[in-house]
Amino acid sequence: MLMQKVEGVLEKNGFSYCEYRGCFDIAARKRRVILIKVLNNIDSFSEEQAKNLKIISGEISTEAMVVGSTTRREILQDDIIYERFDIPAMNVNTFESVVENEIPVIYRRRGGLFVDISSDVMRRRRIRSGMSQKELAERVGVTKKSVYEHEKSRLKMSYENALAMERVLGKGIIESAKMDVKRGGEENRPENRFESFVYRNLKKLGFSTSIVRQSPVNIIAEERKFAVMSEADEIPGRIEKNAESLRRFSEISGRPIIAISKSEVDAEIPSVDEKSFRDMSARDIRKFARRW
Q: What is the pLDDT of residues 127-155, one digit of tens each?
A: 999 999 999 999 999 999 999 999 999 88
Go through the domains of the chain in sequence order and give each one's CATH number.
2-104 (3.40.1350), 113-175 (1.10.260.40), 193-291 (3.40.1350.10)
pLDDT of residue 226: 85
Question: pLDDT tens-digit profile of 207-227?
Answer: 999 999 999 999 999 998 888
pLDDT of residue 162: 97
* Whether residue 97 has pLDDT greater than 90: yes
pLDDT of residue 290: 83
Q: How confident is the model at residue 258 (pLDDT cuts 50, 70, 90)?
A: very high
DSSP β-bridge partners for residue 29: 16, 33
pTM comes to 0.93
* Whether residue 180 has pLDDT greater than 80: yes
Our measurement of the distance from residue 109's CA atom to the centroid of its chain's CA atoms, rounded to an integer in Å, reads 19
pLDDT of residue 154: 86
> 281 and 59 in contact (C-beta within 8 Å)?
no
Distance set, CA 94 to CA 11, 45, 87, 109, 121 (Å): 16, 18, 15, 16, 27
pLDDT of residue 63: 96
Give every CB contact of residue 189 below 8 A, 6+ residues apart in sequence: 211
Closest by Cα among 42, 93, 96 to 70: 42
Give every CB contact of residue 114 below 8 A, 6+ residues apart in sequence: 106, 107, 156, 157, 158, 159
Q: How confident is the model at residue 291 (pLDDT cuts 50, 70, 90)?
A: confident
pLDDT of residue 292: 67
Question: Of the ranges 5-9, 12-16, 282-286, which one carries the lowest mean pLDDT score?
Answer: 282-286
pLDDT of residue 244: 94
